[in-house]
Structure 1
Amino acid sequence: MGDEFAVSDEFFDGQTLRAASAALFGGADIGECIAIARRVRNGDLDSWHTEWFAAAEKAFALGEEAEAAGQGETARLAFLRACTYFRTAGIVYLAQPVDPRLPESLARQRDAFRRAIPHQSAVIVPVEIPFDGIMLPGYHYRVADDGRQRPTVILVDGYDGTVEELYFGNAQAALDRGYDVLAFDGPGQGSVLIEQGVHLRPDWENVLPSVVDWVVAQPTTDPERIAVIGWSLGGFLAPRGASGERRLAACIADANLYDMFDIAVSRMPAAVRGEIPDGNRVAIATVQTMLDTTMRRPTEGWSFRRGLYVHGVETGIDYIRDMRGYTLNGFAEQIACPTLICRGESDDVSETASLTFDALTCPKEFIEFRDADGAGGHCEMGARQLYLARAYGWLDAILQPERAVA
């Protein structure tokens, strides 16, 4: 064993750590996650699904038994574990054509999470937000059913997350600190992608205002204290959204990136970088062949297969072409609210976060989480408590949630 968390396969190991990080709020057992991952055959996506799905069903059955026996807390935690494990089981099939096990895992994840809701102390209500002819599903979390206005955080997910996973990433942490929460799946995310067939779009300056409209319309929202928090790719989407929304009091970008296209090109062989995406045909064909070869590899090619599906394109070159719209160049300068930019020291996704920070003209802060603290990976998955302490410490100083709960 080297630096890996549980297994030697980099993709499987990262997803195991991601699942285990949900233990912080009852969504996993760390040892259980490691044991599940180590039963998976090396590089075998079907084996991964089989082991995690079986663990999810086992946890779900425990939840049903506990619920029937009137053991609410045991049921809550079992259903939350099942939620995480169902999501983890299906993530390997995030690609086109859609394997039926992907929508099944999504539906089972949602069912498990909603079975936990009656046993939660917070008020949690499934909602739908109208946007551009579709509905964005989400959850409205309230600290208490007392009718009081509180500050609200809007949670934006990433490339391959779901609205249910946002509970473990930020929602419960926000509730514990006195914030109400609105979490949602946007275009290209979760059920909006898998069940509605709507792909990702870069212009979240046109997406986020509809969500803020919904939040402001809630009688328990303090309209002067609304923040947006982006997680993973949401660390790009949230500030892009904030560039077109003046009602926000704060923005947090966790795992921020500045320009997706530039990052992709920088990882290509130096000899062809200048030809991407519309240059010499021979160079483009060479890159396409390279991408095709990578995509055929079960775990190494997962991120590219996911990208084609999420963006709704057919080829690797088309995927790179589509990335040109995913930039904060010219948008970061338009953000008016105080903004916190976060990155992990060893996270190559957020390696350009400092460019965003430099472009900001609003009040701003930059935090780099360190490997020495176990927090240097993508979205600080190995040390979320440290991230939550720093990020919400910054946000508390701006929104002062104690005014609503004192």
Structure 2
Amino acid sequence: MKLFEDARFQMFVERALATMTGGGAEYGECAVTAARIADGDDDSWYREWTATAAMVRGWAEESDRAGHPVSAREAYLRAATYLRVSYYPLFGLPVDPRLTEAARDERDCFARFAELCDPPLRPVRVPFEGGLLDGYLCPAPDTAPGRDPRPTVIAVNGYDSDVHEMWWSHARPAVRRGYHCLLVDGPGQGLALVHQGLTMRPDWETVLRAVVDHAVTLPGVDGTRLAVSGWSFGGYLAPRGVSGEPRVAALVADPGQWDLLDNIKALLPLPQDLRDRLPDVDPAELDAHLAPVVEHPVARWKLVQRALWVHGLGSLGEYVVESGRYRLSDVVDRIACPTLVAMAEGDQLAGQAEQLYEALRCPKTLVRFSAAEGAAGHCESWNRSRFDQRVFDWLDEVLAHPHGP
């Protein structure tokens, strides 16, 4: 399924292709778009993906006007995916106006998709520190709001996704099993980052508390059966959040993570004395040593374009020092609810999953995903069906007998 020689472009197109299982993309539309792109040319990438998105959005609007809601919503969802994919190479500061425009169009396409769903997805705005965090409550089918309370999965995002992609990864499998699912972009994520400029923060318990406060007011949400599920960097954020939120009845960390600085320290080409002093160093001491780290285009995208933007920082040295604030070791003993720690073969972020699992003092389960079952790689993206099977079967059993605070 290789469509590009450029490693970044191949990584980005795989993000679109993975959503095919949930109707988020079609291989033919991705392949014909890829064929028009000059490999490695960011301008060409943006231009051709937005052109495909405009074509598919046109099909959606045609069906919408003619009163064909299923055809319309399916096309709106694919258009949203292609718009999201279009701006990946543009990540970074200062924010490219093309990124802002594509993200706005993605939001609008998904909003119409949400309206046409059966039942419709409900926009939510979570009050948070004088502002609002945007997202959706995705209700299970055949529920009577307020009279048929259901267990609810609160999805926690990572670095470079948004609530629209989380429809595929979290909400769709949840609602098909009779759960509600609440999708919210927090600081440093999706809508909150692009449209409000809110950057990442380590104290996710503050964010999750606000989300839970709002969740329990929503019709149909059973406040005694709340699960929190984090993917990618959410494998840190979700456990950190649950450590300060006793109302959560179950936690999923995919993959489980630990202290961020420990995860990256071994990869840094630093003199031993400087490494030993981390994070108590002047960021300027680090910058000269870190230049080789970002010579590869993928590493440069992840660490310079993405991470510095997400954290609102100016240099890699600042990022390394900042990573010392992202710790689970200080709070892991406060996680009381049953916890599932996932780790997939070949997922670089899963290296600390067993460390988290061993440190937990709550009822706990470690689930390994393998290449043999087609579920290797970051967040089991090529076999989310297997992930969903194991995780939701576990949630069914745990939430049948929720543990109180």
Per-residue CA deviation, residues 39-79 of structure 1 (Å, 9 max, x unaligned), is 43222222221221111111101101111222221111100
Structure 1 residue 110: deviation in Å? 0.8
Question: Residue in 1 aligned with 2:26?
Answer: 29
Structure 1 residue 400: deviation in Å? 3.8
Q: Aligned partners of 1:365, 1:38: CA distance in 2, in Å?
A: 44
Mapping for residues 209-228 of structure 1, pairs under 5 Å? 209-228=209-228
Identical amino acids, percent of aligned pairs: 40
Instruction: Quickly say closer, same or farther: Cα 1:303–1:128, change in 2 above 3 A.
Output: same
Q: Aligned partners of 2:229, 2:76: CA distance in 1, in Å?
A: 26
User: Unmatched 5+ residue regions in structure 1?
Assistant: 402-406
Structure 1 residue 335: deviation in Å? 0.5
* Of 132, 137, 140, the match for 1:140: 137
Deviates more, 1:145-154 or 1:96-105: 145-154
TM-score, normalisation: structure 2: 0.92
Per-residue CA deviation, residues 133-176 of structure 1 (Å, 9 max, x unaligned), is 22110101212451211111111111011111111111011000
Q: Aligned partners of 1:38, 1:301: CA distance in 2, in Å?
A: 25
User: Unmatched 5+ residue regions in structure 2?
Assistant: none
Q: Aligned partners of 1:281, 1:16: CA distance in 2, in Å?
A: 34
Q: Is the 2:158–2:232 contact (alpha carbons within 8 Å) kept by the matching residues of 1?
A: yes
Q: Aligned partners of 1:93, 1:286: CA distance in 2, in Å?
A: 25
Q: Is the 1:43–1:299 contact (alpha carbons within 8 Å) kept by the matching residues of 2?
A: no
* Of 73, 76, 81, the match for 2:70: 73
Q: Aligned partners of 2:152, 2:283: CA distance in 1, in Å?
A: 50
SS of match in other structure, 1:41: coil
Structure 1 residue 288: deviation in Å? 4.0
Per-residue CA deviation, residues 236-293 of structure 1 (Å, 9 max, x unaligned), is 11111000111111011112221211121111126453355555999624324335x5
Paired AA for residue 82 in structure 1: A
Structure 1 residue 347: deviation in Å? 0.8
Instruction: Quickly say closer, same or farther: Cα 1:8–1:259, change in 2 above 3 A.
Output: farther
Q: Does 1:129 align with 2:131?
A: no
Instruction: Quickly say closer, same or farther: Cα 1:30–1:156, change in 2 above 3 A.
Output: same
Question: Residue in 1 aligned with 2:181?
Answer: 181
Deviates more, 1:37-46 or 1:304-313: 37-46
Q: Is the 2:250–2:339 contact (alpha carbons within 8 Å) kept by the matching residues of 1?
A: yes
Question: Residue in 1 aligned with 2:46?
Answer: 49
Q: Is the 1:56–1:81 contact (alpha carbons within 8 Å) kept by the matching residues of 2?
A: yes
Instruction: Quickly say closer, same or farther: Cα 1:363–1:284, change in 2 above 3 A.
Output: same
Mapping for residues 348-367 of structure 1, pairs under 5 Å? 348-367=348-367
Q: Is the 1:86–1:109 contact (alpha carbons within 8 Å) kept by the matching residues of 2?
A: yes
Aligned length: 395
Q: Is the 1:12–1:299 contact (alpha carbons within 8 Å) kept by the matching residues of 2?
A: no
Q: Is the 1:123–1:145 contact (alpha carbons within 8 Å) kept by the matching residues of 2?
A: no
Structure 1 residue 372: deviation in Å? 2.2
Paired AA for residue 140 in structure 1: L
Paired AA for residue 203 in structure 1: D
Question: Residue in 2 aligned with 1:404?
Answer: none
Q: Does 1:311 align with 2:311?
A: yes
Q: Aligned partners of 1:109, 1:255: CA distance in 2, in Å?
A: 27
Q: Is the 1:276–1:284 contact (alpha carbons within 8 Å) kept by the matching residues of 2?
A: no
